[in-house]
Chain A
Amino acid sequence: MAFQSLAGIGLRSPHVEEMLATRPAVGWLEIHAENYMGGGPTVRALDRLRLDYPISVHGVGLSLGSADGLDAGHLERLARLVERVEPTLVSEHLSWSIAGGAYLNHLLPLPYTEEALAIVTAHVARVQERLRRRILVENPSGYLRFHHSTLAEAEFLAALAQRTGCGLLCDVNNIHVTCANLGGDPDAYLGALPAEAIGEIHLAGHAVNDADGRPILIDDHGSPVAEPVWRLYERALARFGARPTLVEWDTDVPPLPTLLGEAAQAARRLDAAARGERDVHAA
């Protein structure tokens, strides 16, 4: 089956042993780059799994939006990992995590301004040049916006893709969460993304918390994909066509079969979308 219509799972350490022992049927695996930048059994397990599964390297620490500049040493480590793993996809986030030498371990929000666009554009170009390949940039989940933003997030991403040639990783759960928290229309968001740039889709669960007496959705990757997110995913597939889709589950990690079951649900929708595309081409 074409990679475009395969569903994958995020590889998490509690599942590695079972993955190695049972090699379940799943389209591909995504790893967090920063967990594989040392040596030892962690990377050796990946060396074995990558013989059986396509791998996607998903960075969480490059901090593409840092005004302080990219950490050249970290970019080198990412480049060495990419050389070792030979992944099918490489992705990072539209966010920042480093300021004044402190790494804050969160995908922090950017103001969507021309200043920020120029900084992120320069960083994505430098990463693509060093890795000698196109990367995908993911939309973050948002809990706040800045007064001085002049662009919508989707417009910012479209401009970034246009200026750098990068692809986009469309996190459907993040669109749902961000629009609920900041007052946006998820379908208008999808409509503003350039379909041809979408190289991957993410799905995950979210939680509902309280902030200052109002409900706020938290992208905690700690539960099954929510029903409204599945429906938004179907509309995303209708707009973009089949795209490799990943289910992430990071907190309260469930038994492996539960996660594989979520991926199977995505795979059914991908099959339907791929059949639809073939029918359109046939007609």
Chain B
Amino acid sequence: MSTLRELQRDIRDALLGEAEATVGEIAGDGVAPAARLAVYRHHVLTSLTAALETTFPVVVRLVDQRFFRYACDAYVRAQPPAGPCLFEYGATFPDFLAAFPPCRHLAYLPDVARLEWAMNVALHAADAGVLTPETARALPAGTLESARLALHPSVTLLPSPWPADALWRANQPGGDAIVDLDAGAVDLQIWRRGDDVVFRPLPPAAAAFRRALAGEGTLTVAARAALDAEPGADLAALVREVLDDEVLLDCTR
């Protein structure tokens, strides 16, 4: 007889395995043990697929629900959640889609999934104080200039060779029917503002500036990165915008 640890490994493998998989310790009592285990497998796969449908609704629309569920079946079996908070499940789903042969021809799909993942991260990110234009003005002179800054945990910077933002918008109720896939690259900032998840494309200097801040750089480091990206960048405007967006962690508390 196996130990409980061995039994649980066997059940895990059987649940993530083929439809007929079972384990010897299960009693039948008039119903095939494999059919009893299949009741559990059905719930594991459908409930985790439902969690992914909640996180990636635009991907569902783009590929059709039946295909989405087919992809989820393979994803869940290959990469089940590592922990019980389902809003944290699916970080690797965009990469999985990029490598999933049946949809590899949809080259833009993984970036749409990355945008939806970033929106999910923004929605559930830990609460933390942000530096607003008002709080920044109240700081003693020189504080901001010398501080090691960081972006709020809700912020993701997502560069894409595709118009991922237009694709997302086109798949909202009442969205544009036509998206120009040759519209060019975007560099998106996705974050939570108050209770709302929002995103916007950033010009090259602003994107470089914020990327440097995301690496916990100082304003000096970020300014250098912005000037490298765009030699004529308006540094005062970059600082003002980052405060207006409310994406800087409040470093003064």
**Residue of A40, A99, A146, A218 touching B39 (CB-CB under 8 A):** A218
Contact between A39 and B81, CB atoms less than 8 A apart: no
Quick one: which of B1, B7, B30 has the most chain A CB within 10 A?
B7
CB proximity to B under 8 Å, residues A100-125:
100-106, 108, 110-111, 113, 115-116, 119
Q: What's the Cα separation between A218 and B46 when bound, in Å?
A: 14
Q: Say yes or no: is B177 at the interface (Cβ < 8 Å to chain A).
A: no
Q: What's the Cα separation between A41 and B33 when bound, in Å?
A: 44
Closest to A71 in B: B83
Contact between B4 and A34, CB atoms less than 8 A apart: no
Please indicate the chain B residues that have their CB under 8 angstroms from the CB of A144 in the complex: 26-27, 33, 36-37, 39-40
Contact between B123 and A61, CB atoms less than 8 A apart: no
Q: Say yes or no: is A179 at the interface (Cβ < 8 Å to chain B).
A: no
Q: Say yes or no: is A240 at the interface (Cβ < 8 Å to chain B).
A: no
Contact between B27 and A105, CB atoms less than 8 A apart: no
Contact between A39 and B35, CB atoms less than 8 A apart: no
Q: Say yes or no: is B139 at the interface (Cβ < 8 Å to chain A).
A: no
Please indicate the chain A residues that have their CB under 8 angstroms from the CB of B125 in the complex: 38-40
Q: Say yes or no: is B203 at the interface (Cβ < 8 Å to chain A).
A: no
Q: Say yes or no: is A42 at the interface (Cβ < 8 Å to chain B).
A: yes
Which chain A residues have a beta carbon within 8 Å of chain B's beta carbons?
Answer: 34-35, 37-44, 60-63, 65-68, 71, 73-74, 77, 96-106, 108, 110-111, 113, 115-116, 119, 143-148, 182-183, 209, 211-212, 214, 216, 218
CB proximity to A under 8 Å, residues B1-58:
1, 3-5, 7-9, 11-12, 15-16, 25-27, 29-33, 35-40, 43-44, 47-48, 51
Q: Say yes or no: is B82 at the interface (Cβ < 8 Å to chain A).
A: yes
Q: What's the Cα separation between A256 and B123 when bound, in Å?
A: 24
Quick one: which of B81, B125, B153 has the most chain A CB within 10 A?
B81
Closest to A183 in B: B29
Closest to A214 in B: B31
Q: What's the Cα separation between A119 and B153 when bound, in Å?
A: 37
Please indicate the chain B residues that have their CB under 8 angstroms from the CB of A96 in the complex: 8
With A35-B86, A44-B195 already in contact, 10 other A-B pairs whose C-beta atoms are closer than 8 Å: A42-B124, A73-B83, A98-B84, A99-B11, A104-B44, A105-B43, A105-B44, A105-B48, A216-B31, A218-B39
Contact between B32 and A212, CB atoms less than 8 A apart: yes
Q: How large is the interface on B (under 10, 10 to 19, 20 to 34, 35 or more residues)?
A: 35 or more
Please indicate the chain A residues that have their CB under 8 angstroms from the CB of B96 in the complex: none
Q: What's the Cα separation between A110 and B11 when bound, in Å?
A: 11
Q: What's the Cα separation between A135 and B169 when bound, in Å?
A: 46
Q: Say yes or no: is B192 at the interface (Cβ < 8 Å to chain A).
A: yes
Please indicate the chain A residues that have their CB under 8 angstroms from the CB of B84 in the complex: 34, 60-63, 71, 74, 97-98, 103, 105
The 4 closest A-B pairs by CB, nearest first: A61-B84, A38-B124, A67-B5, A212-B35
Contact between A34 and B39, CB atoms less than 8 A apart: no
State the Cβ distance, B26 to closest chain A Cβ, in Å: 5
Q: Say yes or no: is B80 at the interface (Cβ < 8 Å to chain A).
A: yes
**Residue of A61, A111, A218 touching B25 (CB-CB under 8 A):** A111
User: Beyond A39-B124, A104-B15, A106-B47, is A182–B9 a contact (Cβ under 8 Å)?
Assistant: no
